[in-house]
Amino acid sequence: MPEGDVSALARNFEGQTPPPGTPVTHMAAPEPRAIVLDERVGRFLWVRPLDEGEEPPKDPIMIGPGDVLVPFTPIHSTSVHSNDIVGDRTGFMFGVLVVEVSRDDEARVLVVRSRLLSEPESGRVRLPMGYTLHVPEGALTIELERIDQMFEPDEDGYKPLSNTIWTWMAIGPSADTQELTRYLFAAARRLDTSYRGFARVRRALTELDNTAPGPHARKAVFEIVGDVEIAVIALGRVVDMAVGVGEVTKVPVSIPKRLVKVQHSLIQIRNAYEHIDERARGRVRKRPHPDALSIFDWTALLESGVIRYGAQQLSLDDAFALLSEARTFLKQVAGRPDFSGSFA
């Protein structure tokens, strides 16, 4: 970590350092706060306020001859907001981890930049009390993967894509990418909706009690089938949009073969659920069809987690694999070079 001009650093804080032999437990300004010794660097005692929930040290910090006490504020990150209203949490978009670039002790300025995903964790930046934190223009590099890592996964481990895509696209795509922005965001919402539906189905199937009283058992089955309908329809649209993404971007993309291969089969199952009114009458496109009523046979679904319509079938394992592959692909498209950049 750059140490700046140690002589100037000493001049800045020697007058504020208590005499040798003084025990120190609190920082006086801007308000009394318990402190802890973060590190001794030569004669400089770098001290910081206690973190929330951190236990105070048992022994005070003792000032020795020649010691200089340097109180500082730990800086973990800076933040990006969608508006300029100070203190408005609704405008918060995401945090950006920072690292120290330089420290000018004469000017009392600390310069930072964003920490790249490829760089090792370097701890918090020390901002000496009374110094100004400066983020130069172009010093913040925003990475899609960093944004994706910022959002917590659901209880079952799935990490929704919608927030990642919206946040990334909201940074400032050019005017000619608005169509792709809307397209990818819509696909991400369908992806998240489909996953939640299939996750509910998976949990409900494991909890299904075949010995339950008839009304209770039927209620559970009908809820499973309802979630399957919504999840399959959403999944079908996700796959369609992933396969068709080349129509809304000029950048060449390589569509995952698995998504292309399953598209036709998935369309058949999806259409059966979307046009359940026709299937209930034994029809497909207003004509009688031998497969139409098969969408009402839930045996394979309840016994083995397999959705069937005629000769087409989709297991829950296959659905989750498709969702995972579609998520990776959509994020890759969003992260193409002309969407990345730096800003202050």
DSSP string, 169-230: HHT---GGGHHHHHHHHHHHHHHHHHHHHHHHHHHHHHH--TTS-HHHHHHHHHHHHHHHHH
Domain end position, chosen among 48, 72, 96: 72
What domain range includes position 218? 145-343
**What mean pLDDT comes out for the span 170-179?**
71
The average pLDDT across 6-30 equals: 89
Res. 195: pLDDT tops 80: yes
Under the banding of pLDDT at 50, 70 and 90, the label for residue 310 is very high
Tell me: do 257 and 204 sit in the same domain: yes
Single residue among 30, 46, 72 that ends a domain in this structure = 72
Mean pLDDT on 216-237 = 97
What is the DSSP code (8-state) at residue 63?
P
Q: What's the token pair of residue 334?
A: 């969003």
**Domains held by the chain: number:** 3
Q: How confident is the model at residue 342 (pLDDT cuts 50, 70, 90)?
A: very low
Q: Has this prediction a pTM greater than 0.85?
A: no
The answer on 312 and 207 residing in a single domain is yes
If asked whether residues 296 and 268 sit together in one domain, one would say yes
Q: What is the mean pLDDT of residues 266-277?
A: 97
Query: What number is the average pLDDT over the span 98-127?
Result: 94
Structural domain contains residue 90: yes
Q: Which residue bears the tokens 């659920």? A: 273
Confidence of residue 6 (pLDDT cuts 50, 70, 90): confident
For residue 308, name the pLDDT band (cuts at 50, 70, 90): very high
Across-strand partners of 40?
45
- Could you tell me if residue 314 is inside a domain? yes
Worst-scoring range by mean pLDDT, 57-66, 243-252, 311-320? 243-252
Rounded-to-integer distance, Cα 315 and Cα 228, Å: 11
**Least confident stretch, 44-48, 102-106, 175-179, 225-229:** 175-179
**168 and 101, same domain (yes or no):** no
Domain-ending residue, one of 113, 142, 171: 142
3-state secondary structure 1-16: CCCCCHHHHHHHHHCC
